[in-house]
Structure 1
Amino acid sequence: MAAIRVADSVPPPDSTRIEALVRAEQVRALHEKLAIAQATVFLNSFVVVLVVWERSTPYRLLSWLAFIWLIACARVFAAFRYHRSTLEPGDAARWEWTFTSGAALNGMGWGLSPLLLAGGTPVAYLMFLAFVLAGMTAGAALSNASHQPAFVGFAIPALVPVTALFLSAGDRLGLGMAVMLVVYGSAVTAVSRSGGRALAEATRLRFRNADLAERLATSAAELERRVIERTSELEASVLREREAERQLVNSVRLASLGTLSAAVAHEVNSPLASVSANLNFVRQEFTRAATNPDVHSAMVAALDDAATGLERVKKIVRYLNDTSRVHLRAVTEPVDLHATLDLSIGIVERAIHARAVLVREYSAAPPVIAGHTCLVQVFLNLLHITSESIPDGGSAAHRIRVGTRSDPSTRQVAVVIEDTGCMPAGSQLERTWPPSLTAQPFHDGNGLELSICKDLLARCGGHLDVHSRDGAGTTFTVWLNAVEREQAR
């Protein structure tokens, strides 16, 4: 499954869209401050008219005042339309042009204010107008900082005429005032430009953060969807793997039962052949039995031998019947361990004798709590694995030892099945069950037989230890829980 990286799932920022949003926000800032700015225009223009009323004609003053107020009203109306409009980021250019035009007309109107004064007006009035214009320029630097063309459109026509009048005076005072106005205008312009840049950068950063948060949220939702999708795929894969494992275990169990059935068939054929021979003998000698006591005794012995063979066949058939239902029953009960071992060994004893010498080393052991058929299946699988690890033709040179021992301190009983076969080297393998522990091919299923043994023992509280020695055989130790004294009673 491919790795999911967050960096790959977050799309790059849309710089063009962000810049359009920044421009629209700058236009909005211009119009939000316009109402206060125009209120100062109304107030300052009225004060100027009152101050210079006696130094100019009423017609000139009222005409100028009407021009200033008309522009202010037009700008307020434009701002009202702006706030009532359905705005799109692409409309910013139109509203910037409208605002800048109004600022330029306003600056021209204030630039004409020194011309209201009649000739020979004292310098004090001119300095008063310069002070008003400087204040209006400072206000424009703040309210128009988000759009520098609007500030420049107001400041230049507002300050240039009064600066020119001071220069035309021809004295030091006029020259000094002109220089100060130029320095003041330059400083205010620099401050307004710096403030405008800071405002634009802050706005840009805010929109970038918002855009990043939106993209991260979208990416998180997409990542969550992909994680859920991959988790569903993984769960489906695990279910398929478990089903395949279950089918494989069932296949190996069926193969194991097939191998067992072949061995049992061989075991059944022997007593059946004996029964058939004995019955034929009885049939042939029946007529001589009345006159020959020796023949009569031989017939009785043959019948006894046939009965023994039939009992063995019945026992093997009963075991097969129980084994076929081993996975359908999970009954645990007190089990005679040695009797169970003898039954298991008896089924495969002929196959074992063809490869090795079987040695029983039983010690006193209490009954164990387990399932009888489960234990028989476990012991048969282990005996099959040990016998298969020993090559044919050397039965006198190899041993298969089956022993028991008990540990009173832990109330556990151990069944040890040890061989001298040729399994590959391996240390404690009770946690890892390889596909094939023995030297036999994989399709023999020996490793999965061990897995089946582990599963069967787990049902009755037992476990299996495996220790393999390179070229010197393998030891299987089955640990089972002894029956408590109260249960044994």
Structure 2
Amino acid sequence: MRNRATILSNLVVALLSVLVLRETLPTATTLGWIAGMAALNVARLFLSHWMLRSAWPTRRKLHVFTVGAALSGLSWGCLPVLLLPAGTEADFAFAGFMIAGMTAGGITALCWYQPAYLAYLLGATLPLSASLLILQQPVYLAMAGQVLFYAIMLGVISAFYSRRLLQNLRLEAALDREHRRLEATRQELALAQSNK
């Protein structure tokens, strides 16, 4: 929740996407999507700031965090849906490239909590696959299959990173407990030595 740079980079990439797709998408659609993206990111910034200071139970904070990640993924997933009426192969390829970059980058920001990352990943990739399947042309069908395969691979990779991160945290906690135990033993020995 402290990683505000991720939320801000999300908005910067969205602005760049709008610049590329401004001739394909109607102006109202473009403005609506970027306004929604901006509102979501600002809300996530304020919410993360508030949750860090709130007394909510951790489980509730994680649920809220997961919903925020899902909404962020869905905001990216909306982009190919908006392209459906007039998008070209290049537009869909660009949208797929942006979603691939965002979901790959999301691993580093979200792998510490697997449900949040999966919510983000599925929110971004499933609408893209569905949009491509709706077009029912061989190139789009192939792209949809590749997107689904990519999502599965990212899910597997993020699970690996998540497990590895949890192992490291457990080892650090065990090391910290052992260090405290050794420090207490050292203090007992020092006290015993001074009592002698």
Quick check: TM above 0.5?
yes
Show the counterpart of 1:191: 157
- Give the drift of 1:224: 4.1
Q: Give the superposed CA RMSD.
A: 2.0
Aligned residue runs from structure 1 range 83-482, under 5 A: 83=52, 85=53, 91-117=57-83, 119-226=85-192, 231=196
What's the counterpart of residue 34 of structure 2?
65
In structure 1, what is the Cα distance between the partners aligned to 2:89 and 2:37? 24
Q: Are 2:77 and 2:128, in contact at CA under 8 Å, matched by a contact in 1?
A: yes
Structure 1, residues 15-42: CA drift from partner, whole Å, max 9, x if none?
A: xxxxxxxxxxxxxxxx233x12112211
Match of 2:5 in 1: 36
Residue deviations 1:22-74 (CA, integer Å, cap 9, x gap): xxxxxxxxx233x1211221111112222222222222221111111111111
- How far apart, in 2, do the equivalents of 1:135 and 1:86 lie? 32
2:99–2:124 CA contact under 8 A, matched in 1: yes
Who is 2:24 aligned against? 55
- Determine if contact 2:70/2:119 at 8 Å carries over to the other structure: yes
Query: Matched residues in 2 for 1:42 and 1:110: separation?
Result: 11
Asked if the contact 1:104–1:153 (Cα under 8 Å) also holds between the matched residues in 2, the reply is: yes
User: Is the CA contact 1:111–1:159 (under 8 Å) kept in the aligned structure 2?
Assistant: yes
Asked whether the equivalents of residues 132 and 144 of structure 2 are also in contact (C-alpha less than 8 Å), the reply is yes
| Deviation readout 1:420-464 (Å, 9 max, x if unpaired) | xxxxxxxxxxxxxxxxxxxxxxxxxxxxxxxxxxxxxxxxxxxxx
CA displacement 1:367-414 (0-9 Å, x = unmatched): xxxxxxxxxxxxxxxxxxxxxxxxxxxxxxxxxxxxxxxxxxxxxxxx
What number of residue pairs does the alignment pair up? 196
Give unpaired runs (5+ residues) of structure 1. 1-30, 232-489
Aligned identity (percent) is 27
Contact kept? 1:55, 1:118, Cα under 8 Å:
no
CA distance in 1, matches of 2:84, 2:103: 24
Contact 1:111 1:160 in 2 (8 A): yes
Name 1:288's counterpart in structure 2: none
Q: Which runs of 4+ in 1 moved over 4 A?
A: 226-229
Partners of 2:125 and 2:54 lie apart in 1 by 37
- Greater RCO (CA < 8 Å, at least 6 residues apart): 2
Query: Aligned partners of 2:54, 2:126: CA distance in 1, in Å?
Result: 38
After superposition, give the CA deviation of every residue in 1:270-315 in whole Å (9 maximum; x if it has no partner).
Answer: xxxxxxxxxxxxxxxxxxxxxxxxxxxxxxxxxxxxxxxxxxxxxx
8 Å Cα contact 1:163/1:178 also seen in 2: yes
Unaligned runs of 5+ in 2: none
Post-superposition Cα deviations, 1:237-285, rounded to whole Å, max 9, x if no partner, equal xxxxxxxxxxxxxxxxxxxxxxxxxxxxxxxxxxxxxxxxxxxxxxxxx
**How far apart, CA to CA, are the structure 1 residues paired with 2:77 and 2:148?**
14
Aligned to 2:158, what secondary structure does the other structure show?
helix
Is the Cα–Cα contact under 8 Å of residues 14 and 34 in structure 2 kept in the other structure? yes
Superposed displacement of residue 119, structure 1: 1.8
Task: State the AA in 1 paired with 2:70.
Answer: A
Amino acid at match of 1:137: T
Is the Cα–Cα contact under 8 Å of residues 14 and 37 in structure 2 kept in the other structure? yes
Q: How far is the alpha carbon of 1:118 from its aligned partner?
A: 5.3
Alignment check: 8 A CA contact 1:52 1:125 kept: yes
Q: Is the 8 A contact 2:111 2:158 kept in 1?
A: yes
Q: Is the 8 A contact 2:104 2:154 kept in 1?
A: yes
Q: Does the CA-based 8 Å contact 2:110-2:117 persist in structure 1? A: yes
Task: Give the letter aligned to residue 37 of structure 2.
Answer: I
- Which whole-Å CA distance do the structure 2 matches of 1:151 and 1:77 have between them? 20
In structure 2, C-alpha distance between the alignment counterparts of 1:197 and 1:32, rounded to whole Å: 21
Distance in 2 (alpha carbons) for counterparts of 1:73 and 1:191 = 29
Structure 1: how far apart are the matches of 2:84 and 2:151?
26
Residue 75, structure 1, aligned to residue 76, structure 2: no
User: Following TM superposition, by how much is the alpha carbon of 1:86 offset from its aligned partner in structure 2, in angstroms?
Assistant: 7.3
* CA 45–209 in structure 1, closer or farther in 2 if over 3 Å, else same: same
TM-score scaled by structure 1? Answer: 0.38
Q: Aligned partners of 1:211, 1:148: CA distance in 2, in Å?
A: 26
Q: Given the alignment of the two structures, is residue 46 of structure 1 paired with residue 15 of structure 2, yes or no? A: yes
